[in-house]
Structure 1
Amino acid sequence: MGEPQLSESGAAQKRPGTAETAPWGELVAAALLGVERRTPPGGSVGALLDAAAVETVRRRAGARPAAPHRRTEPAPDDPRPTPPKAAGRRLSLLLANRAGGGTATTGGGRRGPAPDLGELLPQWLAAANARGYRAPVAQLPALLDAARARTDLRAETLAFAGPRALWLARQNEDWKFALRDGVQRRIPEGEEHEGEIQRTWEEGLFAERVALLGALRRRDPGAGLALLASSWQSERAEDRLMFLDSLRQGLCPDDEPFLERALTDRSRTVRATAAELLAALPGSALAARMAARARTCVAQNHVTGAGPAGIVVEAPHECDADMQRDGVIPKPPTGRGERAWWLCQLVEAAPLRVWGERLGGRTPGQIVALPVADGWRDDLHAAWCGAAVRQRNADWARALIGPPTAPFTEGPGDPAKLLSVLPEEERGAWAAGFIAVHGLSEAFRILGVCGVPWPLPLGRAVVDALEIARDAGSYPWSFSGVMGLAERCLDPSDAERLEPLAAVPDASETESPGAGAYWAESFQRMVATLRLRATMLAELTPEP
């Protein structure tokens, strides 16, 4: 391209055949389409390039200076100590292999005998948090990336990362989840900071507002409720639902008036959530209304002569407007009868103490043992199971789940949910008794709600059941889920006990081809994982 011609004064002169001041859009269009399809301004390629150069300089020279941005505040301090050096190196290794890259595989896609490092990361984080460590600064980005990809890591990661995770999340869109899920968010205390809290509530991102409300509810439920009430009418329906769910933190009778008003909300999901929260308050007016309705449906039969006592059920014949206002959903799921559906919702929302009064002062165990007339037993028991889980009532959960030695049948309630209501020690003992009698075929969900590490009796019951399954020639692939749980949940001291099982057994005529080698490989991986977990815990021990 030729140089622009200059006059004696230095001013640029129009060269013959060039465009003077063609609009920028015309220049771009001509350049994109090409001179074969559109005559460029000035009539030639050279003229087009000259005009583009002049226009570029003019546009840049005419740009206004950008307004200065407020300088970013430094990241907050975190006074907690960092883990020992060996533990820090272990964390780097676990983060590098969090997607399973550290798991060796054998032919056919099998995992091989090496531990799965990605599955040990949650335990490492939990152990580090229990010891009061904070994340090394250099590892914060990798930790947040891991938590972004795996929601099961978020709570422990954000506790470990501390306030600096929230600071980083405000700088990087990819980590915005931390503002919503940040369990360590700091709420400034004192009257002088009330304006700051209100400003965040009014101007902050939605994720920041949810985090603020949740943290404030944990510290001061009344203040959190007042903050939510101040803007409730102007919030979007989907936002009202998320904010209302935050009231589960510190739910108390003082929340009842607000929740009662939410029963008339425009959004059906908001109304349903408000009804669920009110039902979790046994002394609420909604719970009393549900109890009154449930009493008309369930009663003790009139015993005549020597006949046994029992329960009779008369399910609702309609779902009226008042029931729907209190959260009863009128349309049942596919395959479910309307009356049974309405009955279960009423009984599940009624306080469980109602039934002792209604059924002759009996205990939960005695009530559950009563026969139920006309085939209503499963529906009634399923509703009681839901109520026991919702109200966290261990007596009812214990009665409904029954002894672990009872014949196993697909009952109306979820045994894993009922088991989660019981104290942790009792959970482990019940699960151990269940496995000793019934084996592992139905134990996976039950094991998932037991505390980690498993109590020694539960761990021994699981190992014994695995050994029995192996010796019986069972397909080892059927127990891969339990094996994976055992790697993460057995007490590390069980490694020595498992050592003999890691040898390849002699093949028997009844076992599947290759099953013995697979069982041995699985036990080898379990032993290696338990020993690695023991090493991890030792590395996290504070250095002298």
Structure 2
Amino acid sequence: MTTTTWEDLVTSALLGTDRRTPAADVLAPGEDAPVALLDAAALHTVRRRAGLVPAPAAPLPEPAPHDDRPPLPEAARRRLGRLLADRSGAASGGRRGTAPDLTELLPQWLAAANGHGYRAPASVLPALLDAARARTDLRPAALAFAGPRGLWLARFNPDWKFALRGASCRTALPSPDDEEAVRRLWEEGLFAERVALLGAVRSHDPGAALALLASTWSTERAEDRLMFLDSLRDGLSDVDEPFLEQALADRSRNVRSTAAELLSALPHSALAGRMAERASTCVGLDRTGGNAVIVVEAPHECDAGMQRDGVLPNPPTGRGQRSWWLGQLVESAPLTVWSSRLGGRTPEEILALPVADDWQGELHAAWCRAAVRQRDAAWARVLLGPPATPPATGPGTSSLAERSQLLSILPGGERAAWVAGFIAAHGLSEAFQLLGVCAVPWAEPLGRAVIDALDIARDAGSYPWSFSGVMGLAERCLDPEEADRLEVLTAVPDEPEGASPGAGGYWSEAFQRLVATLRLRAAMRAELSP
């Protein structure tokens, strides 16, 4: 038996036998030191393995829960494997080639599979969770597709712990009528299970869901209270008002702000009434000059009552205090108050009125936020104005972000027609954000407007890279039925005088990739059909 330990051998190996000679019980006289070291390591290894005492077997994990959704068709299963295995990306130098980007089609495939109600094959669950871990935009759809087995599997890998707090994964929920099972899962379940349970109970009995939430509200973490409160947006109604009023006194500022925002979206809530009263004292009509003019007197202070109702006292950098307070009051007041306050006028007539002392931008921006919060399509239409109107002179806002939010309130067909008109009048350079809120697949007027604009840009001889974002959206959002009609654009065009060198070839590649992607989407849709 040698007295040299395993750690001694490792140290000699790391430092080298020239710097750390093995001990005498390892190295015999005249023996080569490296050989002796390896012999001693082999001996230690055999001794350690032979002396290992078998440990009791660990208990087996509980079986994976049953998922009764129908299985994927075989062709769709193979397609999913290819989508999850793809690691393609845009090539350097601005050229992406003609092959479709499979990673960009995975979200659409997941949405379609969930729409059909398929369950994920067990063999793809690890790759599916890895993909969701790498891309947060995939998580809701990926976790819904993974279902209860995906949640079960995520418990065994710390890299997938995000799934245990995801609110969109499907779990086997008890019946909302089974009060004991509901209470047990609410008190003992994972966060994802509790959010899903709250939604299920809420769809069955909103009052019971609020009682369930109130039973543990004071013991929840601030971030969990915020997420529970945010889940009330779906199906928000006057039944929620008492609970939200209590949340205005929460110890978390974010919870208080969210509660105030939700209450202001209820036009008959007490908070909406208080905000209407405050806003009405700040905005009025002046008829003394012959023509009616909107006059604004911004608040001079942000008192405790305003702060309790969600008004933040400290403005961001670059904003004045009084304009900051005014904007919050107006956006939280019901839009219905302004017709009676401003002489019975319609939204069109109100927005046409001049506003004194350069308050128009602040006032109209607040009305835009109010229209989005209250989902008021009538006000949204007026604030957007006709699509051909230059953005800087529109009735509401020139901000593309705010226009996108206003568009999201309108019905899908009207939204697509408005954006198509905007592209026809102003081109694609400012349309990217607007396109992102349009329903997929794009309606024919919108798809035709995008393709026509891209064709005009190609004929102008510019490179397609300036339109890569729009082209990427077109690959994901155009109706796949358009593929055959676009085939003519895949040919290399004659380059006009003054065109960028080689631009025609690049455009040909871009349109070939577009057509190939549309055909691939059509194939995916057919493979998922029952």
Q: TM-score range by the shorter chain?
A: 0.7 to 0.9
Superposed CA offset, 1:173-205 (max 9, x none) = 3333333233433320165x4333323333334
Of 219-228 and 363-372, more deviation after overlay is shown by 219-228
- 1:96 is displaced (CA, Å) by 0.9
Counterpart Cα distance in 2 of 1:190 and 1:278: 26
Instruction: Identify if the C-alpha distance between structure 1 residues 200 and 60 changes in structure 2 by more than 3 Å, giving closer, same or farther.
Output: farther
Counterpart Cα distance in 1 of 2:116 and 2:258: 37
Of 401-410 and 484-493, more deviation after overlay is shown by 401-410
Q: Tell whether the 8 Å contact from 1:115 to 1:525 is kept in structure 2 after alignment.
A: yes
Q: Tell whether the 8 Å contact from 1:332 to 1:341 is kept in structure 2 after alignment.
A: yes
Counterpart Cα distance in 2 of 1:68 and 1:96: 34
Amino acid at match of 1:280: A
1:479 maps to 2:462: no
Instruction: Identify if the C-alpha distance between structure 1 residues 416 and 60 changes in structure 2 by more than 3 Å, giving closer, same or farther.
Output: same
- Which residue matches 1:424? 412
Amino acid at match of 1:146: A
Superposed CA offset, 1:288-326 (max 9, x none) = 11010000011111255xx32221111111111111111
2:392 match: secondary structure: coil
Q: In structure 2, which of residues 327, 350, 359 is the aligned counterpart of residue 376 of structure 1?
A: 359
Q: Tell whether the 8 Å contact from 2:428 to 2:453 is kept in structure 1 after alignment.
A: yes
- 1:337 is displaced (CA, Å) by 1.1
1:512 maps to 2:500: yes
Q: In structure 2, which of residues 207, 212, 215 is the aligned counterpart of residue 227 of structure 1?
A: 212
Counterpart Cα distance in 2 of 1:496 and 1:435: 23
2:295 match: secondary structure: strand
Of 262-271 and 438-447, more deviation after overlay is shown by 262-271
Q: In structure 2, which of residues 240, 249, 271 is the aligned counterpart of residue 286 of structure 1?
A: 271
Amino acid at match of 1:530: L
Q: Tell whether the 8 Å contact from 1:291 to 1:350 is kept in structure 2 after alignment.
A: yes
- 1:133 is displaced (CA, Å) by 2.4
Counterpart Cα distance in 2 of 1:211 and 1:234: 19
1:154 match: secondary structure: helix
Amino acid at match of 1:536: M
Which residues of 2 match residues 266-285 of structure 1 at below 5 A?
Answer: 266-285=251-270
Stretches of structure 2 that go unaligned for 5 or more consecutive residues are 13-22, 27-39
- 1:416 is displaced (CA, Å) by 0.6
Give TM-score, length-normalised by structure 1. 0.84
- 1:32 is displaced (CA, Å) by 8.2
Counterpart Cα distance in 2 of 1:187 and 1:261: 29
- Which residue matches 2:35? none
- Which residue matches 1:6? none
Counterpart Cα distance in 1 of 2:232 and 2:117: 28
Counterpart Cα distance in 1 of 2:75 and 2:58: 45
Counterpart Cα distance in 2 of 1:512 and 1:139: 46
Counterpart Cα distance in 2 of 1:76 and 1:529: 37
Amino acid at match of 1:123: Q
- Which residue matches 1:533? 521
> In percent, how many aligned pairs have the same letter?
67
Amino acid at match of 1:117: L
Superposed CA offset, 1:246-288 (max 9, x none) = 2223322222222212212222222111111111111111111
- Which residue matches 1:91? 80
Stretches of structure 1 that go unaligned for 5 or more consecutive residues are 3-17, 20-26, 35-42
Give TM-score, length-normalised by structure 2. 0.86
- Which residue matches 1:361? 344
- Give the structure with higher Rg (CA): 1
1:496 maps to 2:481: no
1:326 maps to 2:309: yes
- 1:424 is displaced (CA, Å) by 0.5
Number of positions where the alignment pairs a residue of Structure 1 with one of Structure 2? 497
Which residues of 2 match residues 118-517 of structure 1 at below 5 A?
Answer: 118-179=103-164, 180-189=166-175, 193-304=178-289, 307-409=290-392, 411=397, 413=399, 414-517=402-505
Counterpart Cα distance in 2 of 1:241 and 1:94: 35
Counterpart Cα distance in 1 of 2:66 and 2:136: 26
Counterpart Cα distance in 2 of 1:245 and 1:176: 21
1:110 maps to 2:95: yes
- 1:453 is displaced (CA, Å) by 0.5
